[in-house]
Structure 1
Amino acid sequence: MNAGDSNLQRRLTAILAADVVGYSSLMARDEERTFALVKHLMRDQIEPRITHHRGRVVRTTGDGMLAEFPSAVGAVRSAVEVQELLGVHSAGKASQEIFLRIGINFGDIIVDTDGDVFGDGVNIAARLEQFASPGGICLSGKVHDEVRDKIHLPFEYCGEQHLKNIPRPVPVYSLFHKPKGLPPASTAQPSKPSILVRPFKSAGDVQPYFSDGFTEDVVTELTRFTQLTVASHYTSTRLKDVELALVADNGVDFVIEGGIRRMGRRMRISCELVDATSGECLWAEHYDGDEQDVFEVQDELIGKIVGTVIGRLTAAGAEKARRKPPANLAAYECVLRGNALPLGDIAAETEARQWYERAIELDPSYGRAYAKLAHYKQLEWFRDMGPSDAVLAEAYDIAKKAVALSPNDPVCLNILGWVLLHRRDFEVASQLYTRALDLNPHDPEQVSYQGTYQTFAGEPQSALGWFERARVLDPLYEPSWYWPFRGLAHFIAHRPDQALVDLGRSSTMPTWVTVYLAASNALLGRSAEAETYASLVMRGAPEFSALRFATKEPYKLDGDRNTLLNGMRGAGLPE
C-alpha cells in the first residue's frame, strides 16, 4: 500500500485565481499600452492589496495571477478591494477598460519547494474564476461557509455546478455580478429584463448638467416599473463609455442611448433602445418641440421603453401617481444646476441654495425645489454648534411644503423624513421613507435610505441588510454617503474595526466622517490615530462640541449616542 510521499508539504489555505477579461483582444488593439497597463495594475495596485490582507502572490502570468491567503476572510476582502479599485480606475476611460474575473476556494493544497501550489484546491479556484462575470467574484461553498458571518456582503447562491475535471459538484456563490449561463439555483428568483440608461449627450446650447439631470429623471421613473431591473444613475455614469459586449457581460439586457440638442427655444431629443447582447437597435426616435415639452417627452419615452421591453404597459395605472413635473423649464434647470454642485463645499452649497431659491421664484408650485432647499437648511443647522434649533424648524416647514406640493416625489418624501429624524419623530419619518420605497421599490437609493433610517432607529443589522440589498439591485451603486453610512451601522453595532473600513472608503471626507474615524480609533485603543483625526476635526470646525454633535445625531437609543460620546471623549474632542 502506497500512502504517497510523506515529505510533501500540505496546508489548508484560501486560493485566489484572477484573470484579465478579453486580454487577447486588448493586446490586439494596443499591445504595448495593454502590457504596460496590466503590469502596472498587477504590480502597483493589486499585489499591495493582496499583501495587506496577509496574502502571498504565488505566480503571475501576462493576464492573471494566483495568490494564497491564510484565511478565507482575507482572500474575499482582498478580492472585493481589487474589484472596487478596478471599477474606479476604469470608470469613464473606455480606452483603458480592464476587468478581472476572480475565483476563490478554500481547501487542502500541495506546496512545492519553490513555493508553487498544486492540487484540487487550486484547480477549483481556477475553474471558479472562469465562471465569474467580468468585475465579479465566484466563491466555493467552503469559502462562503467561512465568511458569511464575518463579511456583510450580498452573496448570491448560484447552485451546485459541475466544474471541468472536478469529480464532485461544487456549491457556487457570486459577488457583484451573477455569472451568465449558469443553471439557476433552486432558490433563484425569476429573471426580469435589465436596462441601463447611458447619460444623454449634450449638443448645441445644452449644458452637461441638464442632460445629466434628464438622464437621472428617466432612470428614476423607470424604477417604478416592477417588471424591470434598472441600473442606477451611478452605474449609468460609470459604464457610459464601456463597450456594449462588456455591458452585456455585466448582466444588462437593454441599453438606452441618446442626446439632447437645443436651438433657441427649440429642443430635439434623440433616443434609441439597443439589445445589449446582439447589438440590434429595437427602435430609434427623435422628438422636436418647444423646450417646455421636455416633460411630455420624458413620459412618452418611458412609455415606449417599457412597452417595447415588457411587451405591454401593465403598470399604466400606477403611473398616474407619478411625481408632478415642474410647470417651468427654467425652474427645472435651476434645480439641476444646484444638484450639480458638490456637497461639503460651503461656497458651492451657498450657490446651490441660491439656485433652489430662484427655482421657487420661477415656479412656486415646484415641490422638489423646496425639498432641496430644506435639505441645505438642515445641513446648515447640523454644522452649527450653537444651541438654537430655529434653522431646523425652518427646514421642517419648507420640507412639509415640498411634500404638500409633490406628495409622490420620493426626493420630497425622503428629505422630509430626514428632517423629521432630526426632530426625533421616528414614526412619521418611517412612514415617509416607506412611502418613497413603495413608489420606487427597485431604486437602490430608496432601498439604502431604509438602511439609513434603521441605523438611527437602533437596528444596525437590519440597516446593513438594506445597504446590502441596494448593492444587489445595482452592484456598482456607491454614492459618496453610502460607505460612511454603512460605517455608522457597524459603529453602533460595536464593531469599530469594521466601521473604520467602511468609513475609510468614503469618496469625500466631511467633518462628520472624520469625527467617526476619530471615535472608532479611540474605541479600539489607537490613541495616536484618534488624535490625528480629532485634530482634523478641529481644523475644519474650530467651534466643534462633542456634546452638541452627539445631541444633533438623530439616534433613537441613548446607548448609541453614548457610544459615540465615549469615542469622541477618548479621541480628545472637546465637550
Structure 2
Amino acid sequence: MDRKLVAILAADVVGYSTLMEQDEQGTFERLRAGQKELFEPEIARHHGRIFKLMGDGLLAEFGSVVDAVECAVSLQRGLAERNANVAEDQRVHVRIGINLGEVIVEGDDCYGDGVNIAARLEQLADPGGICVSGKVAREVENKLSFGFEPMGEQKVKNIAEPIQAFRVKFDGIPLPPRSTGKPEKHWATVAIGGVLALLIAGGGSWYVLRSPVALSREPSIAVLPFANMSGDPSQDYLGSGIAEDIITMLSSFPELRVVSRSSSSVYDKPVKVQQVGEDLKVSYVIEGSVRKAGGKVRVTAQLVDASTGEHVWAKRYDEESGDVAVLQDNVANRVNDTIAGLRGEIRKKEEADAWSKAAPSLEEYDYYLRGHQLYFRFTKEDNAEARAIWQEGLAQFPDSALLRTKIAFSYIHDIGWGSTDDPWRDTELAWRLGTEAQAIPHKSRLETLFCHWVMTALYQWHEGDFARSVVEAEAAASLVPYDAWARADLAYYLAAAGKTDRGIELLEDSIRRDAKNMDWYFGNLAIAYYFADRPADSVVALQKMKAPWDINLAAAYARLGKLDEARASIAKLLKAKPGWTIQKEAVFPTTKHPQYVEPLLTTYLSDLAKAGLPEK
C-alpha cells in the first residue's frame, strides 16, 4: 500500500443548490468558464493537482504546504474581487480547509484521515475563509505573511481525536460593495462551479468524497494473483493478468472498495485468506488458479469471506487459449459479472447479513440492503415493502441521499410497470426525492451513481427534458463501465432521447457481458433498433424475449410493411390492455409528457396507427 505526505486542500461552495435553482442554465454556462479562468490555473500555478471533484466541492494535493496555503488565499482573493460587481444573492462564497498529513495513494486518488481531516476543516471555515490544521499553521508560521487565529480543539465527525484548528487571517481582500441597481453579468457568480460541477458540464468521469455514514460498511475486496498450476513458470503471467483485469473491472463498481494490485500482488505464495483479510482490512478475497494444457486453459475462481474463510461462490471456466488477451477479458468479465453489481454474489451475502441484524442495530446501509433484496423481485407487493423499509430508514437517517434515491426508484418501478393508480402523483414524489438527494453534499460514489440514474428517468418523465436526461444517463453509465444491468437500463433513456447509436452500443455490450440476460434487455434493444430505422433487427430482438412487447412488435412490423403481423400484435395488446389508445401511448408512462423525443414520437405513433391502434 503506497503512502505519501502531502498537503490536502478541500474546497466547498456555500449555497450551491440555491445558485442552481435561481439560474440553472446561466450557472451551467458560467461553470465551465470558471473552471478555466480561476481554479485550474491557480492550483496548477501553485504546483497542485486536483484529484477529486464533487457536485459542489473539490480536493487537491500539494507537495508543499506553503504552496497550498498561498493557493487558497489566491483563490479567495480572486473570488472576492469577482464578487464585487455581482448582486448579493448571486455571489459565490467558498469555504477552504487545509491539512498536512499522510495519505494512501491508489492510482490518481488519495484516501485516509489526511484527506478526511481536510474535508472536516473546510466545514469549520467561514464563507470566504480558510481553516487549517495545527500541523499546517506550525509549518508555515514563519514562512508566510499571513496570521493564524486559534479556534481551539475541534471535535469533528468520524475523527477520533480532536483537531487543533486555526483560522487564516489574510489582509488585502476588499469587502465587496453592496450592489444597487441591476447587477452586471459576471462569470464569478459561479467561478468555482466549473471545477466543482464537472459532471453537470457533461463529460469527465469524476469521483466523490465518501459519506462516512452512508457507506460505513461498504464491502471491500482483494484479488490475489491466480496460481499457475501448469508447472511452467513462463505461464505465471496468465494468472497475474486475469487478476489484474478483475481488479480493473471490480474497481469501477461504486459499492466496492478494491485493494490495489500493488497491495494484493505480494501474496504470490499460498496464504490463509483470514491473514489477507487482516493485513489488507478487506471483507472478501478472490483467489483462483490457471492450468494450461495444449490449446485449452482451465481457470478456477472463488470468492471467500475473509473473516471466516468460508466459500461464498466458486466457478470453473474452460477456455480456448488462442488469444490470451481475449481469454483474460472473458474470464475477468464473467467473474466480475457474477460477483459485483446490483445482483452479484457479494450483494447477496451483504443482504443476508443485513437481514440477520436486530432492528436497533441497523445502519443506513442495512436499510438499503434489506429493501434492495425485495425490490429486485419485481412484484408490486415486494416493491411496496421495499419502499416501506427505505422510508423507515429515512426516518432514522433523514439526511440520507442513498435512501431518498431508492424510494424514488420504487416509485419509478410502479410507474413504469403500471402498478400505480396515479402515475403523475408518483412522478412528482420521485422528483422531489431525487432533487433532494442531488442537493446533498459529499455523496459517495454509489449515491452519486443512484442520483444520476434516477434523475435520468425523472428529467424525461417529470420535466420532458430529453437533453438533460442524456447528460444524467451518460454520467451514470461512466461510473459503471462493466455493470450490464445499469447500462442496459440507462440505454433505454438514451434511445428515447434520440441517441440511438449510443443506446445500441450499451445494450449490445450489456447482452455480451451479462450471463443472466433479462428479457427487457432485448426489449430495450428492440426500441433502440426501431428508432435507428432498423425494424427488422427490432423484430429479431423482440422475438428473443419470452414475452415479446406487442406494441413494439406492431410498430416494427408496420415499418416493415407487414401490416397483417402488425394488426395481430395490436389485437393481442388490446386483449391484455382494453381501451389502450394512441393518445395514451404518446404520454406513457406518466400521462403528462411525451414518451419519446420528436420526431421519433410522431413516426412511432404513425406506425401504430397503421397497425390499427385506435386514436382515442
Provide the TM-score with structure 1 as the length reference: 0.43
Structure with bigger gyration radius: 2
- Structure with bigger RCO (C-alpha 8 Å, 6+ apart): 2
